[in-house]
Structure 1
Amino acid sequence: MKMNKNAPCWCGSHKKYKNCHEKWDDTINVLRLQGQIVPEHRLIKNADDIHWIKKAAVINNGILDELEDRIQPGITTLEIDQFVYDYTTQHGGIPADLGYEGFPKSVCTSVNNEICHGIPSDKVILKEGDIVNVDCTTIFHDHYADASRMYMVGKVSDEAKRLVEVTKECLEVGKAAVRPWGHVGDIGAAIQEHAHKNGYTVVREFCGHGVGNGFHEDPYITHFGIKNTGMVLAPGMVFTIEPMINQGKATLFVDKKNGWTAYTSDGKLSAQWENTLMVTDHGIEVLAW
Protein backbone atom coordinates (compact mmCIF):
# COMPACT_ATOMS: atom_id res chain seq x y z
CA MET A 1 0.00 0.00 0.00
CA LYS A 2 1.38 3.39 -1.01
CA MET A 3 2.12 5.83 1.80
CA ASN A 4 0.48 9.20 2.16
CA LYS A 5 2.93 11.76 0.72
CA ASN A 6 2.52 14.01 3.76
CA ALA A 7 2.83 11.25 6.36
CA PRO A 8 6.05 10.90 8.40
CA CYS A 9 8.56 8.82 6.45
CA TRP A 10 8.94 5.16 7.41
CA CYS A 11 12.68 5.64 8.02
CA GLY A 12 12.13 7.57 11.26
CA SER A 13 13.59 10.84 9.99
CA HIS A 14 10.38 12.76 10.98
CA LYS A 15 10.37 14.29 7.50
CA LYS A 16 7.37 14.07 5.20
CA TYR A 17 7.47 10.94 3.08
CA LYS A 18 7.42 12.96 -0.18
CA ASN A 19 10.55 14.84 0.93
CA CYS A 20 12.39 11.76 2.16
CA HIS A 21 12.05 8.24 0.73
CA GLU A 22 9.23 8.45 -1.81
CA LYS A 23 11.59 8.53 -4.81
CA TRP A 24 13.71 5.80 -3.16
CA ASP A 25 10.63 3.59 -2.91
CA ASP A 26 9.70 4.31 -6.51
CA THR A 27 13.13 3.13 -7.69
CA ILE A 28 13.01 0.05 -5.46
CA ASN A 29 9.56 -0.90 -6.75
CA VAL A 30 10.74 -0.73 -10.37
CA LEU A 31 13.77 -2.89 -9.56
CA ARG A 32 11.57 -5.38 -7.69
CA LEU A 33 9.26 -5.67 -10.70
CA GLN A 34 12.35 -6.42 -12.80
CA GLY A 35 13.00 -9.42 -10.55
CA GLN A 36 15.96 -7.94 -8.71
CA ILE A 37 16.73 -8.60 -5.04
CA VAL A 38 16.08 -5.36 -3.18
CA PRO A 39 16.71 -4.35 0.45
CA GLU A 40 13.88 -4.12 2.95
CA HIS A 41 13.19 -0.84 4.73
CA ARG A 42 14.74 -2.21 7.94
CA LEU A 43 18.17 -2.21 6.29
CA ILE A 44 18.12 1.52 5.64
CA LYS A 45 19.74 3.78 8.24
CA ASN A 46 18.41 7.26 8.97
CA ALA A 47 20.40 10.33 10.02
CA ASP A 48 20.05 9.48 13.71
CA ASP A 49 21.42 5.98 13.15
CA ILE A 50 24.38 7.35 11.20
CA HIS A 51 25.08 9.90 13.94
CA TRP A 52 25.47 7.15 16.55
CA ILE A 53 27.33 4.76 14.26
CA LYS A 54 29.86 7.55 13.67
CA LYS A 55 30.17 8.09 17.42
CA ALA A 56 30.90 4.37 17.86
CA ALA A 57 33.40 4.63 15.00
CA VAL A 58 35.31 7.44 16.73
CA ILE A 59 36.03 5.05 19.60
CA ASN A 60 36.75 2.11 17.29
CA ASN A 61 39.08 4.12 15.05
CA GLY A 62 40.84 5.54 18.12
CA ILE A 63 41.60 2.03 19.36
CA LEU A 64 43.07 0.89 16.05
CA ASP A 65 45.09 4.12 15.75
CA GLU A 66 46.58 3.71 19.24
CA LEU A 67 47.60 0.13 18.49
CA GLU A 68 49.91 1.32 15.69
CA ASP A 69 52.55 2.22 18.29
CA ARG A 70 51.63 -0.37 20.91
CA ILE A 71 52.00 -3.46 18.77
CA GLN A 72 55.70 -4.25 19.01
CA PRO A 73 57.75 -7.44 19.48
CA GLY A 74 57.13 -8.80 22.98
CA ILE A 75 53.51 -7.69 23.45
CA THR A 76 50.99 -10.45 24.11
CA THR A 77 47.65 -10.59 22.38
CA LEU A 78 46.06 -10.58 25.85
CA GLU A 79 47.66 -7.18 26.47
CA ILE A 80 46.09 -5.96 23.23
CA ASP A 81 42.73 -7.26 24.43
CA GLN A 82 43.07 -5.51 27.81
CA PHE A 83 43.94 -2.24 26.08
CA VAL A 84 40.86 -2.57 23.82
CA TYR A 85 38.60 -3.21 26.81
CA ASP A 86 40.03 -0.32 28.82
CA TYR A 87 39.96 2.19 25.95
CA THR A 88 36.43 1.24 24.91
CA THR A 89 34.90 1.44 28.38
CA GLN A 90 36.79 4.61 29.33
CA HIS A 91 35.26 6.30 26.27
CA GLY A 92 31.72 5.18 27.10
CA GLY A 93 31.53 2.26 24.71
CA ILE A 94 31.02 -1.48 25.00
CA PRO A 95 33.28 -4.06 23.29
CA ALA A 96 30.82 -5.89 21.03
CA ASP A 97 32.92 -9.06 20.86
CA LEU A 98 32.92 -9.68 24.61
CA GLY A 99 30.40 -12.46 25.29
CA TYR A 100 29.04 -12.45 21.73
CA GLU A 101 27.80 -16.01 21.19
CA GLY A 102 30.21 -17.01 23.95
CA PHE A 103 33.33 -15.30 22.59
CA PRO A 104 35.53 -14.82 25.67
CA LYS A 105 37.46 -11.63 24.84
CA SER A 106 36.92 -8.03 23.74
CA VAL A 107 38.64 -8.26 20.35
CA CYS A 108 39.87 -10.80 17.81
CA THR A 109 43.64 -11.07 17.29
CA SER A 110 44.59 -13.32 14.38
CA VAL A 111 48.31 -14.01 13.88
CA ASN A 112 50.09 -15.24 10.75
CA ASN A 113 48.19 -18.35 9.56
CA GLU A 114 45.09 -17.53 11.63
CA ILE A 115 42.46 -16.25 9.22
CA CYS A 116 40.06 -14.78 11.76
CA HIS A 117 38.57 -15.05 15.26
CA GLY A 118 41.89 -15.48 17.02
CA ILE A 119 41.35 -15.43 20.80
CA PRO A 120 43.75 -13.19 22.77
CA SER A 121 46.01 -15.05 25.17
CA ASP A 122 48.97 -14.37 27.44
CA LYS A 123 50.63 -17.33 25.74
CA VAL A 124 50.66 -15.62 22.33
CA ILE A 125 53.66 -13.29 22.37
CA LEU A 126 54.14 -11.34 19.15
CA LYS A 127 57.61 -11.56 17.70
CA GLU A 128 59.62 -9.84 14.99
CA GLY A 129 58.24 -10.75 11.58
CA ASP A 130 54.69 -11.60 12.67
CA ILE A 131 51.63 -10.13 11.02
CA VAL A 132 48.48 -9.75 13.11
CA ASN A 133 44.93 -8.69 12.35
CA VAL A 134 43.03 -6.86 15.10
CA ASP A 135 39.28 -6.99 14.47
CA CYS A 136 37.42 -4.55 16.72
CA THR A 137 33.73 -3.70 17.06
CA THR A 138 32.38 -1.02 19.37
CA ILE A 139 28.85 -0.45 20.65
CA PHE A 140 27.85 3.11 21.52
CA HIS A 141 24.27 4.21 22.24
CA ASP A 142 23.09 0.80 20.92
CA HIS A 143 24.83 1.32 17.58
CA TYR A 144 27.80 -0.58 16.15
CA ALA A 145 31.00 0.28 14.26
CA ASP A 146 33.21 -2.55 12.98
CA ALA A 147 36.70 -2.46 11.45
CA SER A 148 39.96 -4.35 11.38
CA ARG A 149 43.54 -3.60 10.44
CA MET A 150 46.72 -5.52 9.81
CA TYR A 151 49.82 -4.75 11.86
CA MET A 152 53.33 -5.80 10.87
CA VAL A 153 55.47 -6.57 13.91
CA GLY A 154 58.94 -5.15 13.49
CA LYS A 155 60.64 -6.08 10.21
CA VAL A 156 58.60 -8.64 8.27
CA SER A 157 59.45 -10.67 5.19
CA ASP A 158 58.83 -9.26 1.74
CA GLU A 159 56.26 -12.01 1.20
CA ALA A 160 54.31 -11.09 4.33
CA LYS A 161 54.44 -7.38 3.52
CA ARG A 162 53.17 -7.98 0.00
CA LEU A 163 50.24 -10.06 1.27
CA VAL A 164 49.26 -7.33 3.74
CA GLU A 165 49.49 -4.65 1.05
CA VAL A 166 47.57 -6.59 -1.61
CA THR A 167 44.85 -7.45 0.92
CA LYS A 168 44.47 -3.73 1.65
CA GLU A 169 44.21 -3.15 -2.10
CA CYS A 170 41.47 -5.80 -2.24
CA LEU A 171 39.49 -3.81 0.33
CA GLU A 172 39.98 -0.63 -1.69
CA VAL A 173 38.89 -2.16 -5.01
CA GLY A 174 35.88 -3.63 -3.24
CA LYS A 175 34.92 -0.19 -1.93
CA ALA A 176 35.49 1.34 -5.36
CA ALA A 177 33.00 -1.17 -6.83
CA VAL A 178 30.18 0.10 -4.60
CA ARG A 179 27.79 2.44 -6.35
CA PRO A 180 24.18 3.40 -5.60
CA TRP A 181 21.81 0.96 -7.30
CA GLY A 182 24.68 -1.40 -8.09
CA HIS A 183 24.85 -4.95 -6.70
CA VAL A 184 26.55 -6.90 -3.93
CA GLY A 185 28.13 -9.13 -6.56
CA ASP A 186 30.09 -6.17 -7.94
CA ILE A 187 32.10 -6.03 -4.70
CA GLY A 188 33.06 -9.68 -4.64
CA ALA A 189 33.90 -9.76 -8.34
CA ALA A 190 36.34 -6.87 -7.98
CA ILE A 191 38.03 -8.34 -4.89
CA GLN A 192 38.32 -11.81 -6.37
CA GLU A 193 39.83 -10.50 -9.59
CA HIS A 194 42.46 -8.44 -7.75
CA ALA A 195 43.43 -11.25 -5.38
CA HIS A 196 43.74 -13.84 -8.13
CA LYS A 197 45.68 -11.45 -10.36
CA ASN A 198 48.26 -11.20 -7.58
CA GLY A 199 48.48 -14.95 -7.02
CA TYR A 200 46.36 -15.14 -3.85
CA THR A 201 43.13 -16.87 -2.91
CA VAL A 202 39.94 -15.56 -1.30
CA VAL A 203 38.39 -17.12 1.80
CA ARG A 204 34.75 -18.00 1.05
CA GLU A 205 33.48 -19.16 4.44
CA PHE A 206 33.48 -15.68 6.01
CA CYS A 207 32.10 -12.45 4.60
CA GLY A 208 31.16 -8.86 5.25
CA HIS A 209 27.73 -8.00 6.59
CA GLY A 210 25.23 -5.30 7.34
CA VAL A 211 25.98 -3.49 10.58
CA GLY A 212 24.90 -0.47 12.60
CA ASN A 213 21.68 -1.17 14.49
CA GLY A 214 22.99 -4.67 15.24
CA PHE A 215 26.31 -6.51 15.08
CA HIS A 216 25.48 -8.68 12.08
CA GLU A 217 22.66 -7.67 9.73
CA ASP A 218 21.74 -8.36 6.13
CA PRO A 219 23.08 -8.32 3.51
CA TYR A 220 26.01 -10.70 3.53
CA ILE A 221 28.89 -9.28 1.48
CA THR A 222 30.86 -12.11 -0.11
CA HIS A 223 34.37 -11.36 -1.34
CA PHE A 224 33.91 -13.37 -4.52
CA GLY A 225 31.07 -13.18 -7.00
CA ILE A 226 29.69 -12.11 -10.33
CA LYS A 227 28.98 -8.53 -11.38
CA ASN A 228 25.37 -7.36 -11.56
CA THR A 229 24.15 -10.13 -9.26
CA GLY A 230 22.94 -10.24 -5.67
CA MET A 231 21.09 -7.63 -3.63
CA VAL A 232 20.80 -4.09 -4.95
CA LEU A 233 23.00 -1.59 -3.08
CA ALA A 234 20.58 1.19 -2.20
CA PRO A 235 21.43 4.52 -0.56
CA GLY A 236 21.18 4.27 3.21
CA MET A 237 22.56 0.75 3.49
CA VAL A 238 25.48 0.29 5.93
CA PHE A 239 27.72 -2.76 5.79
CA THR A 240 31.28 -4.01 6.14
CA ILE A 241 33.70 -5.14 3.47
CA GLU A 242 36.37 -7.36 5.04
CA PRO A 243 38.27 -9.55 2.58
CA MET A 244 40.36 -12.39 4.01
CA ILE A 245 43.11 -13.22 1.55
CA ASN A 246 45.35 -16.29 1.76
CA GLN A 247 48.91 -16.71 0.56
CA GLY A 248 48.22 -20.35 -0.36
CA LYS A 249 45.05 -22.38 -0.62
CA ALA A 250 41.66 -20.83 0.17
CA THR A 251 40.68 -23.75 2.38
CA LEU A 252 40.61 -23.56 6.17
CA PHE A 253 39.82 -25.40 9.38
CA VAL A 254 38.40 -24.17 12.69
CA ASP A 255 40.09 -24.95 15.99
CA LYS A 256 38.08 -27.77 17.56
CA LYS A 257 39.15 -26.83 21.10
CA ASN A 258 38.02 -23.20 21.17
CA GLY A 259 35.42 -23.45 18.39
CA TRP A 260 36.36 -20.03 17.02
CA THR A 261 39.76 -19.58 15.43
CA ALA A 262 40.02 -20.31 11.71
CA TYR A 263 43.40 -21.34 10.27
CA THR A 264 44.70 -21.77 6.74
CA SER A 265 44.67 -25.46 5.86
CA ASP A 266 48.22 -25.35 4.48
CA GLY A 267 49.73 -23.25 7.28
CA LYS A 268 50.48 -20.30 4.99
CA LEU A 269 49.81 -16.67 5.87
CA SER A 270 46.44 -14.92 5.76
CA ALA A 271 45.53 -11.23 6.00
CA GLN A 272 42.37 -9.16 6.41
CA TRP A 273 41.32 -5.51 6.33
CA GLU A 274 37.81 -4.26 7.17
CA ASN A 275 35.85 -1.02 6.89
CA THR A 276 32.26 -0.07 7.71
CA LEU A 277 30.72 2.07 4.99
CA MET A 278 27.42 3.59 3.92
CA VAL A 279 25.97 3.75 0.42
CA THR A 280 25.06 7.34 -0.46
CA ASP A 281 23.24 8.91 -3.42
CA HIS A 282 26.60 9.53 -5.08
CA GLY A 283 28.92 6.74 -3.86
CA ILE A 284 30.02 5.76 -0.39
CA GLU A 285 30.96 7.27 2.95
CA VAL A 286 33.44 5.27 5.04
CA LEU A 287 32.30 5.30 8.67
CA ALA A 288 34.88 3.06 10.40
CA TRP A 289 38.33 2.10 9.20
Structure 2
Amino acid sequence: MIELRTPTQIEQMKPAGRFVADVLTALREHAAVGVNLLELDELAHKMIKDRGAESCYIDYHPSFGAMPFGKVLCTSVNDGVLHGLPFDYKLADGDLLSVDFAASVDGWVADSALSVVVGTPRQEDLDLIETTTQALAAGIDAARVGNKVGDISHAIASVAREKGLKINTQFGGHGVGRTMHGDPHIANDGRPGRGFKLQPGLVIAIEPWFLHTTDEIYTDKDGWTLRSVDGSRGAHMEHTVAVTDDGPLILTARD
Protein backbone atom coordinates (compact mmCIF):
# COMPACT_ATOMS: atom_id res chain seq x y z
CA MET A 1 0.00 0.00 0.00
CA ILE A 2 1.30 3.44 -0.95
CA GLU A 3 1.09 5.92 1.93
CA LEU A 4 1.24 9.70 1.76
CA ARG A 5 2.62 11.84 4.56
CA THR A 6 1.26 15.15 5.78
CA PRO A 7 3.53 18.23 5.87
CA THR A 8 3.74 17.80 9.64
CA GLN A 9 4.84 14.19 9.27
CA ILE A 10 7.50 15.15 6.74
CA GLU A 11 8.82 17.65 9.29
CA GLN A 12 8.89 14.82 11.82
CA MET A 13 10.96 12.72 9.39
CA LYS A 14 13.71 15.33 9.09
CA PRO A 15 15.61 14.30 12.26
CA ALA A 16 15.91 10.75 10.91
CA GLY A 17 17.20 12.07 7.61
CA ARG A 18 19.70 14.32 9.36
CA PHE A 19 20.93 11.47 11.57
CA VAL A 20 21.41 9.08 8.65
CA ALA A 21 23.27 11.80 6.75
CA ASP A 22 25.53 12.48 9.74
CA VAL A 23 26.36 8.80 10.17
CA LEU A 24 27.29 8.40 6.50
CA THR A 25 29.44 11.54 6.66
CA ALA A 26 31.27 10.14 9.69
CA LEU A 27 31.77 6.78 7.98
CA ARG A 28 33.06 8.42 4.80
CA GLU A 29 35.61 10.38 6.83
CA HIS A 30 36.64 7.31 8.85
CA ALA A 31 37.03 4.92 5.91
CA ALA A 32 40.73 4.61 5.10
CA VAL A 33 43.34 2.06 4.13
CA GLY A 34 43.69 -0.42 6.99
CA VAL A 35 40.30 0.29 8.58
CA ASN A 36 38.30 -2.86 9.27
CA LEU A 37 34.71 -3.13 8.02
CA LEU A 38 33.70 -4.25 11.50
CA GLU A 39 35.18 -1.01 12.85
CA LEU A 40 32.89 0.98 10.56
CA ASP A 41 29.92 -1.05 11.76
CA GLU A 42 30.93 -0.44 15.38
CA LEU A 43 31.15 3.31 14.76
CA ALA A 44 27.64 3.36 13.29
CA HIS A 45 26.38 1.18 16.15
CA LYS A 46 27.78 3.65 18.70
CA MET A 47 26.19 6.61 16.91
CA ILE A 48 22.83 4.80 16.91
CA LYS A 49 23.11 4.14 20.65
CA ASP A 50 24.21 7.70 21.44
CA ARG A 51 21.30 9.16 19.45
CA GLY A 52 18.71 6.80 20.89
CA ALA A 53 17.88 5.66 17.37
CA GLU A 54 17.06 2.16 16.15
CA SER A 55 18.77 0.11 13.46
CA CYS A 56 16.65 -0.98 10.50
CA TYR A 57 19.15 -3.70 9.56
CA ILE A 58 20.21 -5.69 12.58
CA ASP A 59 17.05 -7.85 12.77
CA TYR A 60 16.16 -7.52 9.08
CA HIS A 61 15.39 -10.90 7.50
CA PRO A 62 13.64 -10.71 4.12
CA SER A 63 13.13 -13.72 1.88
CA PHE A 64 16.36 -13.05 -0.05
CA GLY A 65 18.53 -13.02 3.11
CA ALA A 66 19.94 -16.25 4.49
CA MET A 67 19.45 -15.15 8.11
CA PRO A 68 18.82 -11.97 10.11
CA PHE A 69 21.38 -9.43 8.94
CA GLY A 70 22.97 -8.95 12.35
CA LYS A 71 24.86 -5.70 11.59
CA VAL A 72 23.79 -2.06 11.33
CA LEU A 73 25.57 -1.25 8.03
CA CYS A 74 25.81 -2.65 4.55
CA THR A 75 29.47 -2.45 3.50
CA SER A 76 29.96 -3.63 -0.08
CA VAL A 77 33.53 -3.71 -1.44
CA ASN A 78 34.70 -3.78 -5.06
CA ASP A 79 32.67 -6.46 -6.89
CA GLY A 80 30.17 -6.38 -4.03
CA VAL A 81 27.57 -3.72 -4.77
CA LEU A 82 24.57 -4.27 -2.48
CA HIS A 83 23.69 -5.75 0.93
CA GLY A 84 27.34 -6.23 1.88
CA LEU A 85 27.53 -7.98 5.25
CA PRO A 86 30.40 -6.46 7.28
CA PHE A 87 33.13 -8.99 8.09
CA ASP A 88 36.72 -9.07 9.31
CA TYR A 89 38.32 -7.28 6.36
CA LYS A 90 40.75 -4.35 6.35
CA LEU A 91 40.24 -1.90 3.51
CA ALA A 92 43.08 -1.95 0.99
CA ASP A 93 44.49 0.83 -1.16
CA GLY A 94 42.16 1.44 -4.10
CA ASP A 95 39.14 -0.41 -2.72
CA LEU A 96 35.75 0.83 -3.92
CA LEU A 97 33.49 0.90 -0.86
CA SER A 98 29.71 1.34 -0.87
CA VAL A 99 28.00 1.99 2.45
CA ASP A 100 24.22 1.75 2.89
CA PHE A 101 22.59 2.82 6.16
CA ALA A 102 19.03 3.11 7.43
CA ALA A 103 17.78 3.99 10.89
CA SER A 104 14.63 4.97 12.72
CA VAL A 105 14.45 8.11 14.86
CA ASP A 106 11.27 8.75 16.85
CA GLY A 107 9.49 6.13 14.77
CA TRP A 108 10.42 7.55 11.36
CA VAL A 109 12.90 5.91 8.96
CA ALA A 110 15.48 7.39 6.61
CA ASP A 111 17.69 5.43 4.19
CA SER A 112 20.77 6.54 2.27
CA ALA A 113 23.95 5.21 0.63
CA LEU A 114 27.22 6.43 -0.84
CA SER A 115 30.29 5.05 -2.59
CA VAL A 116 33.90 6.14 -2.09
CA VAL A 117 37.35 5.02 -3.16
CA VAL A 118 39.75 4.33 -0.32
CA GLY A 119 43.32 5.44 -0.93
CA THR A 120 44.59 5.67 -4.52
CA PRO A 121 41.62 5.72 -6.93
CA ARG A 122 41.21 4.16 -10.32
CA GLN A 123 39.78 6.65 -12.79
CA GLU A 124 37.17 4.17 -13.96
CA ASP A 125 35.91 3.85 -10.38
CA LEU A 126 35.68 7.62 -9.98
CA ASP A 127 33.80 7.78 -13.28
CA LEU A 128 31.37 5.08 -12.13
CA ILE A 129 30.70 6.91 -8.87
CA GLU A 130 30.14 10.15 -10.78
CA THR A 131 27.72 8.49 -13.19
CA THR A 132 25.80 6.94 -10.30
CA THR A 133 25.70 10.32 -8.56
CA GLN A 134 24.38 11.98 -11.71
CA ALA A 135 21.75 9.25 -12.10
CA LEU A 136 20.61 9.85 -8.53
CA ALA A 137 20.36 13.59 -9.17
CA ALA A 138 18.33 12.96 -12.33
CA GLY A 139 15.99 10.61 -10.49
CA ILE A 140 15.49 13.12 -7.69
CA ASP A 141 14.78 15.92 -10.16
CA ALA A 142 12.04 13.78 -11.71
CA ALA A 143 10.38 13.23 -8.31
CA ARG A 144 7.86 16.02 -8.85
CA VAL A 145 4.12 16.28 -8.36
CA GLY A 146 2.33 15.20 -11.52
CA ASN A 147 5.12 12.98 -12.80
CA LYS A 148 4.94 9.22 -12.48
CA VAL A 149 7.21 6.60 -10.99
CA GLY A 150 8.29 5.63 -14.49
CA ASP A 151 9.65 9.15 -15.01
CA ILE A 152 12.05 8.65 -12.10
CA SER A 153 13.13 5.26 -13.41
CA HIS A 154 13.58 6.59 -16.94
CA ALA A 155 15.65 9.54 -15.74
CA ILE A 156 18.01 7.23 -13.86
CA ALA A 157 18.37 4.84 -16.79
CA SER A 158 18.99 7.63 -19.30
CA VAL A 159 22.13 8.68 -17.44
CA ALA A 160 23.38 5.11 -17.21
CA ARG A 161 22.73 4.32 -20.86
CA GLU A 162 24.53 7.47 -21.98
CA LYS A 163 27.63 6.01 -20.31
CA GLY A 164 27.07 2.56 -21.78
CA LEU A 165 26.13 0.88 -18.51
CA LYS A 166 23.78 -2.06 -18.16
CA ILE A 167 20.94 -1.77 -15.67
CA ASN A 168 19.60 -4.30 -13.18
CA THR A 169 15.98 -3.73 -12.13
CA GLN A 170 15.80 -6.50 -9.50
CA PHE A 171 16.73 -4.14 -6.66
CA GLY A 172 15.97 -0.41 -6.57
CA GLY A 173 14.24 2.35 -4.67
CA HIS A 174 11.18 2.06 -2.47
CA GLY A 175 8.75 3.82 -0.21
CA VAL A 176 10.02 4.95 3.22
CA GLY A 177 8.08 5.84 6.34
CA ARG A 178 7.47 3.93 9.54
CA THR A 179 9.37 1.00 8.04
CA MET A 180 12.40 0.83 5.76
CA HIS A 181 10.78 -0.75 2.71
CA GLY A 182 7.33 0.08 1.38
CA ASP A 183 5.50 0.78 -1.84
CA PRO A 184 6.08 1.90 -4.51
CA HIS A 185 9.08 0.08 -5.95
CA ILE A 186 11.31 2.53 -7.84
CA ALA A 187 13.16 0.54 -10.50
CA ASN A 188 16.33 1.96 -12.00
CA ASP A 189 14.89 1.62 -15.49
CA GLY A 190 11.37 2.20 -16.76
CA ARG A 191 9.09 3.89 -19.23
CA PRO A 192 8.24 7.57 -18.77
CA GLY A 193 4.62 8.36 -18.05
CA ARG A 194 3.92 4.96 -16.52
CA GLY A 195 3.15 3.85 -12.98
CA PHE A 196 1.89 5.60 -9.87
CA LYS A 197 1.29 9.33 -10.22
CA LEU A 198 3.49 11.25 -7.80
CA GLN A 199 1.58 13.22 -5.18
CA PRO A 200 2.58 15.56 -2.36
CA GLY A 201 3.53 13.57 0.72
CA LEU A 202 5.05 10.58 -1.07
CA VAL A 203 8.39 9.73 0.59
CA ILE A 204 10.72 7.42 -1.31
CA ALA A 205 14.27 6.19 -1.36
CA ILE A 206 15.83 6.61 -4.80
CA GLU A 207 18.90 4.42 -5.24
CA PRO A 208 20.71 3.84 -8.52
CA TRP A 209 23.47 1.25 -8.49
CA PHE A 210 25.58 0.12 -11.42
CA LEU A 211 28.42 -2.24 -12.25
CA HIS A 212 31.21 -1.52 -14.72
CA THR A 213 30.45 -4.20 -17.30
CA THR A 214 27.40 -6.26 -16.31
CA ASP A 215 23.93 -6.12 -14.79
CA GLU A 216 24.08 -9.69 -13.46
CA ILE A 217 24.65 -10.45 -9.79
CA TYR A 218 24.85 -13.42 -7.46
CA THR A 219 24.62 -13.88 -3.70
CA ASP A 220 27.88 -14.45 -1.87
CA LYS A 221 28.28 -17.48 0.41
CA ASP A 222 27.69 -15.15 3.38
CA GLY A 223 24.03 -15.26 2.36
CA TRP A 224 23.71 -11.49 1.86
CA THR A 225 26.36 -9.71 -0.21
CA LEU A 226 25.39 -9.26 -3.86
CA ARG A 227 28.35 -9.44 -6.23
CA SER A 228 28.84 -9.00 -9.97
CA VAL A 229 29.07 -12.21 -11.95
CA ASP A 230 32.16 -11.03 -13.83
CA GLY A 231 34.08 -9.48 -10.94
CA SER A 232 33.54 -5.91 -12.10
CA ARG A 233 33.16 -3.22 -9.47
CA GLY A 234 29.97 -1.46 -8.46
CA ALA A 235 28.78 1.89 -7.11
CA HIS A 236 25.61 2.70 -5.16
CA MET A 237 24.09 6.07 -4.25
CA GLU A 238 20.82 6.70 -2.40
CA HIS A 239 18.76 9.45 -0.80
CA THR A 240 15.42 9.56 0.96
CA VAL A 241 13.27 12.14 -0.83
CA ALA A 242 9.88 13.68 -0.09
CA VAL A 243 7.69 14.76 -3.00
CA THR A 244 6.26 18.21 -2.18
CA ASP A 245 4.40 20.98 -3.97
CA ASP A 246 7.66 22.93 -3.90
CA GLY A 247 9.65 20.17 -5.55
CA PRO A 248 11.69 17.22 -4.26
CA LEU A 249 13.00 17.57 -0.70
CA ILE A 250 16.12 15.51 0.08
CA LEU A 251 15.76 14.40 3.69
CA THR A 252 19.18 12.74 3.82
CA ALA A 253 21.20 15.55 2.23
CA ARG A 254 24.80 15.59 3.48
CA ASP A 255 26.85 18.71 4.13
TM exceeding 0.5: yes
Unpaired stretches in structure 2, ≥5 consecutive residues: 62-67
1:117-152 Cα distance to aligned partner (Å, 9 max, x none): 001112x21111111111000111111010011121
Mapped partners of 2:12, 2:80: distance in 1 = 32
> Contact (CA 8 Å) 2:7, 2:201: kept in 1 or not?
no
Alignment of 1:11-50 (within 5 A): 43-50=3-10
Aligned to 1:135: 100
Q: Which amino acid aligns with 1:116?
A: L
Which of 62, 82, 96 is the aligned partner of 2:22?
62
Aligned to 1:231: 196
> Contact (CA 8 Å) 1:49, 1:212: kept in 2 or not?
no
Q: Which amino acid aligns with 2:55?
A: P
1:72 aligns with 2:32: yes
Unpaired stretches in structure 1, ≥5 consecutive residues: 1-39
Which of 36, 44, 48 is the aligned partner of 1:88?
48
Alignment of 1:1-289 (within 5 A): 43-101=3-61, 102-122=68-88, 124-255=89-220, 257-289=221-253
Q: Runs of 4+ in structure 1 displaced over 6 angstroms? A: none
User: How far apart are residue 194 of structure 1 and its match?
Assistant: 0.9
User: How far apart are residue 282 of structure 1 and its match?
Assistant: 2.9
What fraction of aligned residue pairs are identical, expressed as a percent?
33
Mapped partners of 1:106, 1:68: distance in 2 = 15
> Contact (CA 8 Å) 2:10, 2:201: kept in 1 or not?
no
> Contact (CA 8 Å) 1:203, 1:246: kept in 2 or not?
no
1:22-78 Cα distance to aligned partner (Å, 9 max, x none): xxxxxxxxxxxxxxxxxx6x6111234223321111211111111232111000111
**Larger gyration radius, structure 1 or structure 2:** 1
Mapped partners of 1:176, 1:142: distance in 2 = 27
Q: Which amino acid aligns with 2:77?
A: V
Q: Which amino acid aligns with 1:207?
A: G
Mapped partners of 1:204, 1:68: distance in 2 = 27
1:71-102 Cα distance to aligned partner (Å, 9 max, x none): 11000111000000001110111121111111
Mapped partners of 1:151, 1:144: distance in 2 = 24
> Contact (CA 8 Å) 1:52, 1:140: kept in 2 or not?
no
Q: Which amino acid aligns with 1:151?
A: V
Mapped partners of 2:4, 2:110: distance in 1 = 16
Aligned residues: 247
What SS does the corresponding residue of 1:86 show, helix, strand or coil? Answer: helix
Mapped partners of 2:199, 2:36: distance in 1 = 42
Mapped partners of 1:78, 1:203: distance in 2 = 28
Mapped partners of 2:124, 2:116: distance in 1 = 14
User: Whose relative contact order is higher, 1 or 2, with alpha carbons under 8 Å and at least 6 apart?
Assistant: 2
> Which stretch has the larger CA shift, 173-182 or 76-85?
173-182
TM-score scaled by structure 1?
0.83
TM-align CA RMSD: 1.2
> Contact (CA 8 Å) 1:202, 1:243: kept in 2 or not?
no
Aligned to 1:7: none
User: How far apart are residue 258 of structure 1 and its match?
Assistant: 2.5
Q: Which amino acid aligns with 2:33?
A: P
Mapped partners of 2:8, 2:99: distance in 1 = 28
